[in-house]
Amino acid sequence: FSNITFFIFGPLMTFLMRPYIQKRSRCIYVLFILFTITGLFSMYFHMTLSFLGQMLDEIAILWLLASGYSIWLPRCYFPTFLGQNRSWYISLIVTITLVSTFLSFLKPTINAYALNAIGLHIVYIVVQEYKKTKNKELRHLIEVSTVIWALALTSWISDRLFCSFWQWINFSYLHSIWHVLISFTFPYGMVILAMVDSAYEMPDQTIRVRYWPRDTWPVGLPYVEMGDDHKSC
């Protein structure tokens, strides 16, 4: 039941970011579909605790990360042998992800390496962009997402290391809290990457960060809104 937020946030983010997606790339629809599928496979895994469920869960996360990575990574971070060609870059990421998916069934630990490699590089890019940007909205997004991610990671680690203690006090919900918090972290990460990408790929567009259900609420679901005006050259 703690995965229910994936089924809510996926379609909701698709609706909220539709104007941006239509101007940037319709491939982003696939990203939100994968986000929802991740919640579905996670639910299946935790219902069955089967090896198949675990593989589906991890592979869905791998493809989700790889999709966002291929769509939004700024060209200045591309490997030099690819130049600035995003089509070649996407082909490279899809090939590597396909190979990792195949190998994960032969050696499941491959998935962990692939997930960590992509995840850590995304963190590196976000840190670099945080240092460079003067955009207060982007800096705020990164700061809030860092806090949510840290809380989620703390819940996961505490559940893994001190499981017997939490069972002893009859509080076995930390992994569920991890699911809910990480389902918030992903939308924040997507909006952060969209904001970073827009500075490189859509410099003439005004991109604003909005929060659902209201901008004035202390916590909300972030999304980007396309401004009606154009930036001056």
H or E stretch including 210? Answer: strand 205-212
Give the residue with greater pLDDT, 72 vs 227: 72
Q: Is residue 151 in a domain?
A: yes
Q: How do residues 176-233 score in pLDDT, each as one tens digit? A: 999 999 999 999 999 999 999 998 998 888 889 999 988 887 678 999 998 765 544 4
The answer to whether position 233 is within a domain reads no
Does the model's pTM come out above 0.85? yes
pLDDT tens digits, one per residue of 10-24: 999 999 999 999 999
Determine the Cα–Cα distance for residues 6 and 180; give it in Å rounded to an integer: 8
Residue 232 maps to a domain: no
Which residues have C-beta within 8 Å of that of residue 225, sequence separation ≥ 6? 19, 20, 207, 208, 209, 210
Report yes or no on 29 lying in a domain: yes
Establish if 231 belongs to a structural domain: no
Q: Which residues contact 178 (CB under 8 A, 6 or more apart)?
A: 152, 155, 156, 159
CATH code of the domain in which 192 resides: 1.20.1070
Q: 140 among the known binding-site residues?
A: no
Mean pLDDT of 97-115: 83
Q: pLDDT tens digits for 124-144?
A: 999 999 999 999 999 999 999
Domain membership flag for residue 112: yes
Q: Would residue 191 count as lying in a domain?
A: yes
106 pLDDT exceeds 60?
yes
Domain that holds residue 13: 3-226
As for how many domains the chain has, the answer is 1
pLDDT reported for residue 35: 95
Long-range Cβ pairs for the range 22-31 (8 Å, 24+): 23/202, 23/205, 23/226, 24/194, 24/197, 24/198, 24/201, 24/202, 25/71, 27/67, 27/71, 28/71, 30/67, 31/64, 31/67, 31/68, 31/71, 31/190
For the chain, what percent of residues have pLDDT higher than 70? 97
179 is in an annotated binding site: yes
Q: Is 175 annotated as a binding residue?
A: yes
